[in-house]
Each structure stands twice: as C-alpha cells, then as structure tokens.
A and B are shown apart, each in its own frame.
Chain A
Amino acid sequence: MPTIQFGDVQVEVDEDGFVQDPKQWTEDLARYLAKQEEGLDNLTEDHWKVIHYLRDYYQQFGIAPMIRKLCKDTGFDLKYIYELFPSGPAKGACKLAGLPKPTGCV
C-alpha cells in the first residue's frame, strides 16, 4: 500500500489516492490531496461545504450519502459539484474528504 509522508505522519493511501484511515484526515491533508489529486490550488468555501457535509454524513452513517441527497442538502447541482471537484462527487469529493472510495456498481 503506498504512503504519503505528510508533515511528521505517514498516511496510507490506496492506489487511487484514497486515505485508508479516515481518522488521519485533517484540513491540511485535504488541501494537499486537492492539489495532488484534483489539481486544485485552493479550496473555496463551497469546496469546504461539500467536504464537511460528506465528513459529517460519514461520521453519522459510516458511508457516503446518496449523490442526490448531497446535492439537495448542499444546494449545489451535480454540474456544479463537478466544477468544484473535476473527478466528481465519488472519486473527487469523497477522496478529499477522506472517505473510503465508494465501491460497487458505481
């Protein structure tokens, strides 16, 4: 399993760049992943809104929310989510939020 050295901690990520232990997530790590994985130089308020929404949902339910629910609760349509996170809600936003990669028929 690849690791990234982040400050003084080693963060384990999978081949697709998803953080393996959601507890290792920090806002700084999100900024780092945003740059490395999504090519985003900075994260705006709207990015953070999505990221924090995903994290809160994950903490409560142990899984990423339905995409339509994410859109409705953040007030952002899917097109805008793709503008924010070029790889989309699952492969982009969830990755930056430190959630496991949504898997299955998706």
Chain B
Amino acid sequence: MSATPVKEAGRPATAQRAAEAPAKGPSRGSASANPPGHDRPYLASEKDLAPLGLHWVDEAERPARARELLDKMRHYRRTFQMYMDVCTHCGACAQQCHSYLGTQDPKNMPVARADLARRIYQRYFTWTGRHLPRLVGAEDLTEETIEAWYKYFYQCNECRRCAVFCPFGIDTAEITIAMREILAYLGLVPRFLTSVGSNVLRTGNNMGIPRPALLDTVQFLEEEMKEETGKDIPIPVDQEGAEVLYNPSSSDFFSNPDTLTGAAKMFYAAGISWTLSSEIIETANFGLFFSEPLLRAHSQRLIRSARRLRVQRIVAGECGHGWRTWRMFSETIHGQLEFPITHCAEEACELLRQRRIRVDPEANPQRVTYHDPCNLARAGDIIEQPREVLRQITLDFREMIPNREKSFCCGGGSGLLMDEMMEVRMQLGKAKADSVRATGAEILCAPCAICKAQLPLVMEHHHVPVQVKGLLDLLGRAIIL
C-alpha cells in the first residue's frame, strides 16, 4: 500500500501541519485552528473543550465578551483588582522573572505581563482610563489584545517569584491565573491542558489510567520491590480503614516509579497502614492553571475518596501546585475537614524525627542538590522539611543559589509541558540550569512531577550533567527495611 500525505508529498508531516496553520494568534479562521506553536501552545478544538463545559466564542464577539469577563473577574477576585490598582511600575520585579531572563522578551517582565491586563482594566474600569486613556496608557480591548494574552499568559509559569521581590507583594501569578480563566471562557485553552483536564474528569488522574491498568502496574512494582529487597512491601489499593490515603502523581505509574516505591517503603518501614484510591491517583490539580470548576471537582473527588475509605489523614505525593491546592484551598472549598492533609516531605521528616524509620546515607554517596518546586517553597510551606530529610539520607548535600523562596522555576510550572513549546520551555529553564550547574551536583532532587518532566530536558539542553530524582526516590534507596 502506498501512502501520500494530503498536501505536498514528501514533506514531513509536522512541517505540513505547521505550514497549514495561520501565522499568528488564536484565530480559528481557516484550515487549521492552530498557530505554528513555537511561542504559544496549540489551541484546543471545540471537541477538546466540550468535556470541560467550555466553548468557542466567535472571533467577532470575543473583545466584548472578554471585557465582560474582566469586569466579573475584578469583582470576583479582590486581589486581582488590587494588583491592577497598586502597581507603581517601579520595575523591581523585572529582572526576577526567569521567563524574561530566558526569553529576553520585554513583555515577559512581570510588570509588562500584568500590564497586558492592566491597560484594559484602566481603560474600562477606572475614571482616568475612561476619560484620559492616553495619560495612563490605557488601551482599547481588541483581538490583538486577546492574542497577546494567550501568548504571554502562557509564557508565565505562575511561579510567584516576582511577588517575593515586589515591594507591594503583587503576585503576577494570580493575575495569570485570572487571565487564563478568562481565556478559557473565550474558548482559548491549550490542547495539552484540555487533554489532561478531560482525563482527570474521566479517571481522576492526569494520564487517564483506568483501574485495571493501575492494579496491573501496582502488582508489577510489588514484584520489583520483592526482587530488590526480598520483602513483601505492599502497595494497597482501595483499602478501607487504612490510616493514610496516599495521593501520588499519575506519572509515578509511567515514568517515576521510584517515587511511588519510595513511599511504599517508607510506610512499610514505619508500620503505617496506607492505601491508594483508584478514584484519584493524582495530587496535581490542573484546574489551578485554567479552570476553577475543574479545580473544585478534583478537590471534591479527593475528599469524597478519603471519606469513603475512612482514612485518618491524606498524604500528598510529589507535586508542587497540587499541594498548594490541597493545603491552601481545601478548607475554603469544603469547610473544616475531619482529617489533616499533609505532604510526603513532612511525613518523611516527622518519621525520621520520631525515629520510626532509619536510614543509611551511604546509599546516596553522590553530590546532591535540591530544587525548591515553586509551589512548595512559595505557596505551600515546604522548605526546611525536605532539606532535613536530605541531610540524613545523602552524604554530600549542597544548596544551590538562589534557593528556598528565591529559587528559580524549572520552566514547566503551570502546566507548560507541551511539546510544541519546547524551545520556549528550554529558555524558561535556563536560570535553573545555571543554578544547578554551579553546584557541581550529580543528582538534582526535585520533588514535583512537573519539575521531574521538565528538568531532565532542561539540564540536557543546557549541558548540565545531572540526574533528576524525587525526594522519596532517594529516601527509598536509603531506608533500612
């Protein structure tokens, strides 16, 4: 059988797809809905949007609709309105954003990014902007505005580093979150995010792993651990009455199995009964990146599962932003809960303090450095716990600079893991690569699934010879069983 592509036989399929696409912007005019994809993500189609209850808005109606949504947003999120009002354009944030440092695109300075929304906000919702728009640089909302929103709010990792340096504490990540929500209601969402979102609604996890596959993988990992340690270390699933519901990352079942077996070994060694829930094997909550309803739905699923399994606490796995949603938003969404939600780094740290687990640092003789996932260090109070653990399970731990709340993002944060953004992603990771290179580390510990997907590519691209591992991966090696 012979095969010919529809157009221009002989050219690689990807080049054709790019060639079919319009030159710029989120316009859905002609043959293909998608831009070339070098500097912005591929757009979801109407079909991709449907499971999330989102729809395309006609191009002609978009500016008016965007204005309405902006008006709603400023009332709904008071911080958003405050951030719109108080910026003095002092510029203190400019050099602190790895997105600007890596891309050298001035629109990626936090203040410039926020101004893409602020100028419109001023134009329609402030007295000076309405009457003297030029005085404050206020601008009309047009299709170009929306194109710029789509591009630049998807070159922000929502890392919150800018907020650490802004004298007013303006958190541009919050502005990005609000603006992506507005874009979503205009039907403008990266296809990568809708594909994850619909997997989450269907299966409770990002990868879309169904229960039989979960059980098969768990059995495989139990056998692996038996081979490695000679012990029967269980990975229980749906076990009612267990003490702990452990909520991992679904990537643990695909590319990061040592994180999951590290957790299994920790609970086994400490004598803690635990379980996974086949309803939710995902700490990540991509709703934070574009859809508050999705965020709430995933959160409800977690709490429902914990109640059904009658556990005493939930332990979150290695994920940064998901942890932020569990720790910071759970009680806002559900009211006071009858059980605590803790993080696996807190759990490991506490078990070491109580001497309920013992470790041998000789198991990790390499030089190790620690990457603070943004949402752990700047949005989730997990800073010292992983360090306390690392100092006990490794022989040569070095801090990178900057670190803790000043750490740079990996460049994949807020779900910027789509392939078509690879070039931009590598630019976004440059600041981190420089920090890691200076430590001379052989192992880069990064307890977040997004970081673990992004950092190996970034390190290879920027020629930093380092292996990326989770915290529980290293604990699993060091733990004495």
Contact = CB atoms under 8 A, between A and B. Distances in A.
A4 B6 contact: yes
A16 B2 contact: no
A25 interface: no
A69 B419 contact: no
Given A5-B6, A37-B13, A104-B196, A61 B32 contact: no
Contact of B212 (A13, A61, A104): A61
A32 B3 contact: yes
Nearest to A62: B210
Interface string A23-53: 0000011001000110000000000000000
Contacts, number: 118
Contact of A7 (B3, B13, B196, B255): B3
B210 A104 contact: no
B199 interface: yes
B452 A28 contact: no
Given A6-B1, A16-B419, A104 B6 contact: no
Contacts of B42: 15
A104 B17 contact: no
B209 interface: yes
Contact of A104 (B14, B254, B419): B254
Interface in B250-280: 250-251, 253-255, 257
Nearest to A31: B3
B207 A103 contact: yes
Contacts of B284: 104-105
B20 A104 contact: no
Contact of B205 (A17, A32, A104): A104
B254 A7 contact: no
Given A66-B253, A105-B284, A105-B417, A61 B1 contact: no
A55 to B, nearest CB: 15
Contacts of A37: 12-14
Given A17-B13, A105-B452, A63 B210 contact: yes
B16 A62 contact: no
Interface residues of B, number: 51
Contacts of B195: 101, 103
Contacts of B411: none
Interface in B1-29: 1-6, 12-14, 16-17, 20
B442 interface: no
Contacts of A36: 5, 12-13
A84 B453 CA distance: 22
A69 B13 contact: no
Contacts of B255: 66-67, 90, 106
A13 B12 CA distance: 13
A50 to B, nearest CB: 16
B201 to A, nearest CB: 14
Interface residues of A, number: 36
A102 interface: yes
B257 A15 contact: no
B37 A105 contact: no
A65 B224 CA distance: 15
Interface stretch (B213-221, B305-313, B432-440): B213-221
A104 B217 CA distance: 17
Interface in B205-241: 205-210, 212-213, 216-217, 220-221, 224
Interface in A59-100: 60-69, 72, 90-91
Interface string B131-158: 0000000000000000000000000000
A6 B6 CA distance: 9
Contacts of B208: 63, 103-104
B172 interface: no
B16 A2 contact: yes
Contact of B45 (A1, A16, A63): A1
A28 B4 CA distance: 12
A103 B206 contact: yes
B206 A68 contact: no
Interface string B437-464: 0000000000001101100000000000
Given A63-B210, A69-B220, A105-B453, 13 more contacts: A2-B13, A15-B14, A15-B420, A37-B12, A61-B216, A62-B212, A63-B213, A66-B217, A66-B221, A103-B192, A104-B254, A105-B450, A106-B453
Closest 7 interchain pairs by CB?
Answer: A104-B206, A105-B449, A61-B213, A104-B207, A105-B251, A7-B1, A6-B3
Interface of B: 1-6, 12-14, 16-17, 20, 32, 34, 37, 42, 45, 191-192, 195-196, 199, 205-210, 212-213, 216-217, 220-221, 224, 249-251, 253-255, 257, 284, 319, 417, 419-420, 449-450, 452-453
